[in-house]
Structure 1
Amino acid sequence: MNKSYAKVIISGSPISKSNFKLFNVKGRAILPYNSGKYHDRYAIYEEQIAYETRCQNPGVQLSEALIAVLKVYYKSQKRHPDTNNITKSIFDGIEKSGLIINDAQIRRIIIEEFYDKANPRFELELFGESQYFMDYKIKERDQYTSPILYSPPPNRKINLTKCRNKPTKSSNSSPNTIKCEICGKTISKSDSISANNGKLVICKNCFNKLF
């Protein structure tokens, strides 16, 4: 058995760890596991990665510095997590499986993004640096292809003509008050808890009911 190589294939749409974080009253990030709510998805996904990795690589542990080649296949080209963000989710599960000792072993990595509506997944190959090295080139195409263009989300407009956009103040609301996404009540920042990279804000009362 080659102790310098391993491959892992995990079916299902890859998810990002950052999308499932909640923050407690002290501001510390937490990842719910058995709340019965939506945010449990990440912990369950991490366990899936760990279990299937061990099943696919029984008795294998890579302890040296590694090169990683990660191919991510999404359902949709338009809606999916940032590929750069999901590497942490994947390697947390790989580390938990025991296949690697620590994700700090990954010293070189190539990430490629693909689309497969029928079979979303990720495929990860790990190569030990004692036996393998990375050799890659970027070449200019012989024929031009249509570019894949990206645009900012609707709630974030970018003004390319100004160096800095000054925030506008509303006369009807205080900058220190916001609304809870669950109960709809107006709350102060000190009484709120943020999740999903600040996109979801709930009051402490609703948070206590969830957990």
Structure 2
Amino acid sequence: MSNYAKVVITGSPITKSNFKLHNTNGRAILPHSSGKYHDRYALYEQEIALLARSQNPDITFSESLIAILRVYYKSEKRHPDTINITKSIFDGIEKSGLIINDAQITKIFTEEYYDKDNPRFELELFSESEYDFGYTITKKTVPTKAKLYSPIKKSVLNNQSNSLDSKGLKENKIPKSSPSYLENHSEIPRDASTKNILCSICNKVITSNDYVKADSGKTLICKKCFNKLF
């Protein structure tokens, strides 16, 4: 039985932390062939699953594991939050059959790096029965330049907290399924002439509440297209 595996996936890592889509049973799902932008989340998981298995063809871990994850982004200024990136990665690793369940990862250490020419992630898995994990934090002899992060601008916070719809009601108090929410959100797909709400897949007008929402309400899928996906 193997006690170690390594997975290297090239390309800019992505996260699905802000994408939510559920089937009629309430189970979270990821469409992969709708022809829309959000297909990339499922395709990324499938890529991870395929390559993780091809790189470790005869390994399946059934015990608890220690994980070392090194993420290399293309740009230091624009990239997903590293704290969220692990979900997409380990969902793909689980689908590969390399692990049985991502709950097996009992210790994880994540590092963030930058490589403009070769963005990727490198994941090492160690059997906890044979390996231990420790770390030390030491004070630098010569301090390096601090990497600073800017706080969210106060004007942005005020716009979010005081955003009012056309009737003077605060946005965060209006259910996203209500007509007033759908009528006053420009990011929702609509017919150019009639302003009717459209399905993000078939582009046909959605009537009443016959749809499923995804991507924080920005993607609407009619029940007919939704059922075709699964």
Fold shared per TM-score above 0.5: yes
- The 1:183–1:145 alpha-carbon spacing in structure 2 relative to 1, beyond 3 Å, is same
Q: Separation in 2 of the partners of 1:149 and 1:6?
A: 35
Whether 1:62 and 2:61 are equivalent positions in the alignment is: yes
Q: Which amino acid aligns with 1:183?
A: R
Equivalent residues in 2 for 1:32-181, closer than 5 Å: 32-153=31-152, 157=156, 167-168=161-162, 170=164, 172-175=166-169, 176=174, 177=180, 178-181=184-187
What fraction of aligned residue pairs are identical, expressed as a percent?
A: 55
- The 1:37–1:193 alpha-carbon spacing in structure 2 relative to 1, beyond 3 Å, is same
Q: Is the 1:21–1:195 contact (alpha carbons within 8 Å) kept by the matching residues of 2?
A: yes
SS in 2 for 1:18: coil
Q: Is the 2:190–2:196 contact (alpha carbons within 8 Å) kept by the matching residues of 1?
A: no
SS in 1 for 2:38: helix
Q: Is the 1:21–1:39 contact (alpha carbons within 8 Å) kept by the matching residues of 2?
A: no
- The 1:131–1:173 alpha-carbon spacing in structure 2 relative to 1, beyond 3 Å, is same
Would you tell me which structure has more strand in proportion to its own residues? Answer: 1
Tell me how far 1:154 sits from its aligned partner. Answer: 5.3
What is the RMSD computed on CA atoms of the aligned residues? 3.3
C-alpha distance after superposition, 1:115-164 (max 9, x if no partner): 111111000000111111012101111111111111245587469xxxxx
C-alpha distance after superposition, 1:58-95 (max 9, x if no partner): 11111111100000001111111111111111111111
Q: TM-score, normalised by structure 2?
A: 0.73
Residue of structure 2 equivalent to 1:201: 218
Residue of structure 1 equivalent to 2:203: none
Q: TM-score, normalised by structure 1?
A: 0.79
Q: Separation in 1 of the partners of 2:123 and 2:213?
A: 32
- Which of structures 1 and 2 has the larger relative contact order (alpha carbons within 8 angstroms, sep 6+)? 1
Residue of structure 2 equivalent to 1:183: 190
Q: Is the 1:75–1:116 contact (alpha carbons within 8 Å) kept by the matching residues of 2?
A: yes
SS in 2 for 1:48: helix
